[in-house]
Structure 1
Amino acid sequence: MDQPIGVIDSGVGGLTVARELMRQLPKEQLIYLGDTIRCPYGPRPEAEVVQFTLEMVEFLQKKQIKLLVIACNTATAFTIDLLRERLSIPIIGVIQPGARAAIKVTKTKTIAVIGTDGTIGSKAYPKALKQISSDLTIYDLACPQFVPIVESGHFSPEAAKHVVEQSLKPITNLRGLDTLILGCTHYPLLAEPIKQVMGANVEIISSGEEAAREVSALLSYQALAYRGNRLAKHFFYTTGSPELFEQIANRWMDYPVQHVENIVIDQSLVEKNKSF
């Protein structure tokens, strides 16, 4: 099916999902929208996160997307059930794939989850994990300083490691802990200091990467994959600075991110059309 995949995030963190989608599905076109002007979502009230997410989805619906990826853990926690009720296209979040991957790799059945205030407060990961396996020991920890570091685009390895060390202190010496879920798609950009702090015995799970694998399987299962012969062109939008978005993205994306467009979300669109 020659229609794009839509990807939304509170900022640049969802590009970790987009990068994996591009690697696995080189023929599929992506349209990415990062709400950088209102990032981070983690500290915001649930109602605000829902409203912002609906606004982004309204924009992507006009692009005739065939599948939506909510590449934001906070938005996934607060909106995925609502969006599945309202939209006729498949929707993939980042929480269930991350939970399934963690359960596959843990040997001690002791798992920690780090995320934004909103994601951790929602208890979405413990719920998802317990639905699959009830005999788990689960720790969750909010790390509110991580997203601002990534979104700033300016941080030294030393500064990042210091913040990571201080933030992860409550879980660094937990007995039996062998698996850590990065419950925010911004966090893989801090993967190296996180690995250094947690140690070699703790497996790091990127919920975003796991979500990309699920998209690949779903496209095949529902016969939505593009069957032609092309190398896809991707489009990037932000509600904030296109220059800063490009600067951050091109530091670690394999695909050159250029000509990023700034958009102004029209909140009245959602108010007028609550059912899409």
Structure 2
Amino acid sequence: MSDEHAIGFMDSGVGGLTVVKQALKQLPRETVYFIGDQARLPYGPRPGAQVCEFSWQMADFLMKKHIKMLVIACNTATAAALPDLRARLNIPVIGVIKPGSRAALKASRNNRIGVIATDGTIRSNAYSDAILTKDPTATVVPLACPKFVPLVESNEYHSTVAKRVVAESLKDLKKQDIDTLVLGCTHNPLLRPLIQNVVGPNVTLIDSGAETINDVSSVLDYLDIANTSSTKRYPDEYYTTGAAAQFEAIAKDWLGQPDFHATHIDLGSETND
């Protein structure tokens, strides 16, 4: 049986495209519906209850499009909203934290694992909990890097400013003897070369988003809901609550799609109060 319905992806902004990029590569037959809530980012400093509310607004939007699976392509939203979404939606809901945690434990040799993420994700202890539940002997070194999301969203991730901000943000991490570093925010892979340069070649970087697509692929097979027809029936669709042009500029670069198009939509209140 072939299920040609789309997989929904949601994020606070463009960071979730790092997850989509892996989906397009690993699951080329699957249709992607993506929404980025750029009008209200960053999610990191917001209270968990508010992040949960915004996550529901994105999920409701995607559910009206009859998606067959929902991927929370945002670590902050995964930490705040995954249990609630999973309990109340009648489709599989997959977050990015557990797949990243599993991959980190697999990669680490000295069991000292760093996690860089937003304030919200670090505050939730979601990575520490996920890693230590599987291996209580591990040491987790969490570090909030609130400046990374704005760098990416303002399309400055190739700039000399980005290089300086990444070096400054990660300087304390270099003393921690970690051998594995979880990119615990889906915006972080866009800064990957700069991050690797600062932490050095002996630290393995774990892209939680990329690891999540392995889970998506397994669940599609397990539930027998993969699209097995030879082509996509439905084209991919991308939505943003922010400026479509800004979103498109980053997406064209990151996804390597010169004809990329995004549609602006409104979701709830766009105020930052």
Deviation at 1:260, TM superposition (A): 1.1
Alpha-carbon distance in structure 2 between the residues aligned to 1:121 and 1:257: 39
Paired position in structure 2 for 1:76:
78
- Which of 243, 246, 252 aligns to 2:248? It is 246
Cα deviation code 1:77-107 (max 9, x no counterpart): 0110001110010011000000000000100
Deviation at 1:257, TM superposition (A): 5.4
Paired position in structure 2 for 1:273:
none
Structure 2 residues without counterparts, runs of 5 or longer = none
Alpha-carbon distance in structure 1 between the residues aligned to 2:245 and 2:159: 23
Q: Choose 227-236 or 97-106, whichever is displaced more.
A: 227-236
Give 2:227's aligned amino acid.
Y
Conserved in 2, the CA contact under 8 Å of 1:74 and 1:118? Answer: yes
Cα deviation code 1:213-272 (max 9, x no counterpart): 1101110111010111115621000001111110111112034453311111146xxxxx
Alignment map for 1:100-179 (pairs within 5 Å): 100-175=102-177, 177-179=178-180
Give 2:190's aligned amino acid.
L
Give 1:207's aligned amino acid.
S
* Backbone CA RMSD of aligned residues: 1.2
Give 1:105's aligned amino acid.
A
Alpha-carbon distance in structure 2 between the residues aligned to 1:264 and 1:203: 39
Conserved in 2, the CA contact under 8 Å of 1:55 and 1:265? Answer: yes
How many aligned residue pairs are there? 266
Alpha-carbon distance in structure 2 between the residues aligned to 1:224 and 1:132: 29
Paired position in structure 2 for 1:7:
9
Deviation at 1:138, TM superposition (A): 0.8
Q: Percent identity?
A: 48
- Which of 39, 47, 66 aligns to 2:68? It is 66
Alpha-carbon distance in structure 2 between the residues aligned to 1:136 and 1:155: 32
Paired position in structure 2 for 1:235:
237
Partner SS state of residue 127, structure 1: helix
Paired position in structure 2 for 1:270:
none
Paired position in structure 2 for 1:31:
33
The TM-score normalised by the length of structure 2 is: 0.95
Paired position in structure 1 for 2:216:
215
The 1:16/1:156 distance shift into structure 2, 3 A limit, reads closer
Deviation at 1:2, TM superposition (A): 1.2
The 1:253/1:135 distance shift into structure 2, 3 A limit, reads same
The 1:155/1:81 distance shift into structure 2, 3 A limit, reads closer
Cα deviation code 1:99-122 (max 9, x no counterpart): 000000100000000000000000
Paired position in structure 1 for 2:198:
197
Q: Choose 252-261 or 46-55, whichever is displaced more.
A: 252-261
Q: Choose 250-259 or 226-235, whichever is displaced more.
A: 250-259
Conserved in 2, the CA contact under 8 Å of 1:32 and 1:236? Answer: yes
Conserved in 2, the CA contact under 8 Å of 1:29 and 1:233? Answer: yes
Conserved in 2, the CA contact under 8 Å of 1:236 and 1:257? Answer: no
Q: Choose 219-228 or 166-175, whichever is displaced more.
A: 166-175
Give 2:229's aligned amino acid.
G
Paired position in structure 2 for 1:261:
263
Structure 1 residues without counterparts, runs of 5 or longer = 268-276
Cα deviation code 1:18-73 (max 9, x no counterpart): 01001011110000000001111001111110110000001000000000000000
Conserved in 1, the CA contact under 8 Å of 2:157 and 2:191? Answer: no
Conserved in 1, the CA contact under 8 Å of 2:108 and 2:180? Answer: yes
Alpha-carbon distance in structure 2 between the residues aligned to 1:202 and 1:101: 14
Alpha-carbon distance in structure 2 between the residues aligned to 1:210 and 1:69: 12
Alpha-carbon distance in structure 2 between the residues aligned to 1:211 and 1:68: 12
Conserved in 2, the CA contact under 8 Å of 1:37 and 1:240? Answer: yes
Partner SS state of residue 172, structure 1: helix
Partner SS state of residue 56, structure 1: helix
